[in-house]
Amino acid sequence: MLEDSKGKELDVLSGSGIPDLSDVVWSPTEENFAFAADVADDKDDGRGLYAYSIKERKRRLIVSGSTLAPEWSADGRFLICLKTSTPASEKLRDAVRRNHGTIIVLHAHSGFKPVLTAGKLAGYPTPSPTGTKIAFMELLQDEYGDFDNHSLQVTDIATGRIQKLLTNRREPLYIWAGDNTVAATTYDKYAVPTLSLVSLPDGTERQLVTARDFAGLEPLAYLSEQTRIIYKAAERLSDIEAEELWAVEAGRQPLRLFPQAGRGRS
């Protein structure tokens, strides 16, 4: 059921009419929202990404096929999603094939026309704060022929130019730190995590933290006013009890947040 801010009913989308509804994301301008569904009465096979216009009170299929992770740019101009139609391959695990695909960028103000496609085995597309670039992870073949090399890449929506930032055997974690910098955690061959800042124009990498005591350093947020990265340091893999919150800025020692709090409560 759709309601406006005053609680007035706008429309009802029945669950039976839109089976397998998932990934509902609102546009920042609140004019549209997108969702993935499998609508049998549409053309093609019905499975795809739909956009619902609040003004027109109707939905439309904007990307047919199986899609993942729809996300709006901050200004609401672009809708970004992954289209997963990767064929089966011996070198690709089934789970990888299901969660990776081609990034499609749709322009919301021109009838959701595709303006950019990028990557073949891409995942985790993340628009930059101003919505002009998209960072994503592309799987590349390693020296053994497996698609196990994780390459962090950035594409410019206007020009379509793709820039490789870094490549790692283990999957890096990243966030945008401003519009021209990405904060990413990589691992060496001893699985020691390193949190770095990667500048976009020239791809230079600046290490912030290397921590052998921690199994993971997950960047969570960027505070633009203080130019600080907030990250989560996990002492053990998948152990919530052993997680701590830290903050770091370039050229300074990392600072543990809430040091008085007990473990697991930070």
Partner 1 sequence: MTRSRRWPSRRLQIAIIVALAAGAAVRVFLPPLTPQERAEELYMDSWFGGRWHVSLDTGPEDKTAAVNRLEAALKLSPGNTLYEQALVWHTPREKLPALLKKRGLGPEARRLAAGLVYEHHAQAKRTIPAPPDTEEVRPEEPTDRGPTDDLERLDALAKADPTNALVHYRKAVVLKDMQRPDDAYAEMKAAGNLRTIRFHFPALSKAVHDSLGSPLFTPFPEMARLRSLTRSLVAAANERLRQGNVVEACETLEECCQMGVNLASSEPPQTIAVLVGRAVFLMAWAELEPVYKDFGMKEELAVFKQADGAFEAVVASCRSRIANESDSWLRLIRTILPPTSIAFAVGLSAGLMMLSTLWWIPAGIARRRRRESALTVPPWSEGWLSRRLLAVYIPPAVIIACLLSIRPSSLASELRFAMLVAGPLAAGLLALAQLVMLCFIFRALHHRYDDHTGERTGILRFLFKAPAAAKAWTRKYVIAGLGAQMMFFVCCFLLLTIAYKPIVGGHPWQMNRFRVAYLSTEQAFVKQITADLAIPDFAGTSIPNNDTREPANH
Among 41, 94, 202, 225, binds partner 1 (CB under 8 A): 94
How many Å apart are CA 246 and CA 218, to the nearest integer?
A: 10
The verdict on 236 binding partner 1 (CB under 8 A) reads yes
Subset of residues 124 to 183 that bind partner 1, contact rule: CB under 8 A:
142-144, 148, 169-170
| Residue with Cβ nearer partner 1 (77 or 100) | 100
Subset of residues 13 to 72 that bind partner 1, contact rule: CB under 8 A:
none
Classify 82 as helix, strand or coil.
Answer: strand
- Strand ordering across the sheet containing 243-248: 216-223, 228-234, 243-248, 255-256
Subset of residues 190 to 209 that bind partner 1, contact rule: CB under 8 A:
190-192, 209
Tell me whether residue 210 is exposed, middle or buried, using C-beta atoms within 10 angstroms of its C-beta: 0 to 12, 13 to 18, 19 or more. Answer: middle
| Residue with Cβ nearer partner 1 (35 or 214) | 214
How many Å apart are CA 13 and CA 168, to the nearest integer?
A: 44
| Residue with Cβ nearer partner 1 (43 or 189) | 189
Q: Helices marked H in 63-183 — which ranges?
A: 94-99
The verdict on 239 binding partner 1 (CB under 8 A) reads yes
The verdict on 238 binding partner 1 (CB under 8 A) reads yes
Q: How many residues bind partner 1 (CB under 8 A)?
A: 28
Question: For residue 235, which amino acid is it?
Answer: E
The verdict on 254 binding partner 1 (CB under 8 A) reads yes
| Residue with Cβ nearer partner 1 (9 or 144) | 144
Q: HSE of 110 in the Cβ direction (CA atoms, 13 Å)? A: 7
Give least dist CB 36 to partner 1, A. 21
How many Å apart are CA 2 and CA 13, to the nearest integer?
A: 8
Q: Cβ(166)–Cβ(184) under 8 Å?
A: yes
The verdict on 93 binding partner 1 (CB under 8 A) reads yes
| Residue with Cβ nearer partner 1 (5 or 238) | 238
Among 104, 154, 173, 215, binds partner 1 (CB under 8 A): 215
How many Å apart are CA 137 and CA 152, to the nearest integer?
A: 5
Q: What residue ranges bind partner 1 (CB under 8 A)?
A: 90, 93-94, 142-144, 148, 169-170, 189-192, 209-215, 233, 236-239, 246, 253-254
